[in-house]
Amino acid sequence: MNTMNSGISAEAENQDEPRAASVAEHKPEDTVIEEGKTVGKPFSDDPKFKLRNVEVFYDQARAIKNISLDIGRNEVIAFIGPSGCGKSTFLRCLNRMNDSIDICRVKGSLALDDHDIYDPKRDVVELRARVGMVFQKPNPFPKSIYDNVAYGPRIHGLANRKSELDDIVENSLRKAGLWEEAKDRLDATATGMSGGQQQRLCIARAIAVSPEVILMDEPCSALDPIATARVEELIAEMSESYTIVIVTHSMQQAARVSHRTAYFHLGHLVEVNETNKVFTSPQHELTESYITGRFG
């Protein structure tokens, strides 16, 4: 919510600034972005998500401007870009988390496995069971560790017996690399864990409903470097069985974990390409300015 609000204001500020037409000193901010034109490789042969001409409005403000992108099956794709560029907003379109914001409208066609995400007849519960999400700040429920992980399976009726539920909880915690630390205190309250443990618990909680896609909105921004490294390892392991979309402010993180990287700028999708290409030979001058640290 907060990131989005700041997104709107940052964008509005940028638009209000008169464009300096100085040729001698060409700033990256002055670059005119051609709407809907993305350089690099935005499309995929085996798409999990097919997103075409997506636009998102907050009231009148246009936060996402005509973005088309494919997200491949079992691919890890990283969204990078300056604050307020719309990457979180775009991410939240993928499991319709924007629905709870009254003033938010989404246009364009968004499909998961060729089924429209925004079909009014579509059951958002089923969508979110398939597309899990991990948030910026660890948000375990103030319940026990066990109940946190069992929350999703209980809602979706994934276990018929207590023993089945126990198995799901154990497996999810194992996959999240938390089992060894948590197995002796499953009944302890989750808010007593460290930040890194809490975030891995949130990942376990998301995995427990066996999603196909996991969206991660800056999952490591509240974690220390060691906890970050653990989460990154986890992402690498999970990429075998899940499609992962990760928003990050850390370019090193994007370089380490992702297959492809998408660069967002002021609501535009400027460049998408294989991660090593984006970081070694960016094709767009804005991407180059951003990754070389000239702004952001």
Partner 1 sequence: MQTANLLPLVLVLTLVAYGLAYMRSRAVAAPLGGIRNLKALPFYYAARAALWCAIPALIVLAVWSGFEGKVIQSIVIASLPQDTWPDSPGQASLILSQISNVAAGNLNPDFVPDHIAGAASLLETTESRSENFKAILVVLIAVLGATFAWTRVAPHINARKNVETTLRRIFFVCAALAVLTTAGIVFSVILETLRFFDRVPITEFLFSTSWSPQTALRADQVGSEGAFGVIPLFTGTLLISAIALLVAVPVGLLSAIYLSEYASKRMRSTIKPILELLAGIPTVVYGFFAALTVAPFIRDLAEMVGLEASSQSALAAGLVMGIMIVPFVSSLSDDVINAVPQNMRDGSLALGATQSETMKKVIFPAALPGIIGGILLAASRAIGETMIVVMAAGLAANLTANPLESVTTVTVQIATLLVGDQEFDSAKTLSAFALGMLLFIVTLLLNVVALKIVRKYREQYD
What does the binding site for partner 1 look like in residue numbers (CB under 8 A)? 1, 95, 97, 100, 102, 124-129, 132-133, 135, 137, 139-143, 151-152, 155-156, 191, 202, 205-206, 209
Nearer residue to partner 1 within complex by CB, 80 or 149: 149
> For 231, how many CA atoms within 13 A lie in the half-sphere containing its CB?
32
Q: Compute the least distance from the CB of residue 61 to partner 1, in Å.
A: 17
- 23 φψ region: left (φ > 0), alpha (ψ -120 to 50), beta (else): alpha
Nearer residue to partner 1 within complex by CB, 25 or 102: 102
Nearer residue to partner 1 within complex by CB, 186 or 204: 204
Q: Compute the least distance from the CB of residue 258 to partner 1, in Å.
A: 21
Q: Compute the least distance from the CB of residue 219 to partner 1, in Å.
A: 13
**Contact between residue 99 and residue 41 where contact means Cβ atoms under 8 Å apart:** no
In order of 103, 122, 231, 279, the CA distances from 70 in angstroms are 26, 21, 25, 20
User: For the residues of 204-255, what is the DSSP string, one character each?
Assistant: HHHHTT--SEEEEESTTTTS-HHHHHHHHHHHHHHTTTSEEEEE-S-HHHHH
Nearer residue to partner 1 within complex by CB, 40 or 140: 140
Q: Compute the least distance from the CB of residue 32 to partner 1, in Å.
A: 36
Q: Compute the least distance from the CB of residue 129 to partner 1, in Å.
A: 4
Nearer residue to partner 1 within complex by CB, 81 or 152: 152
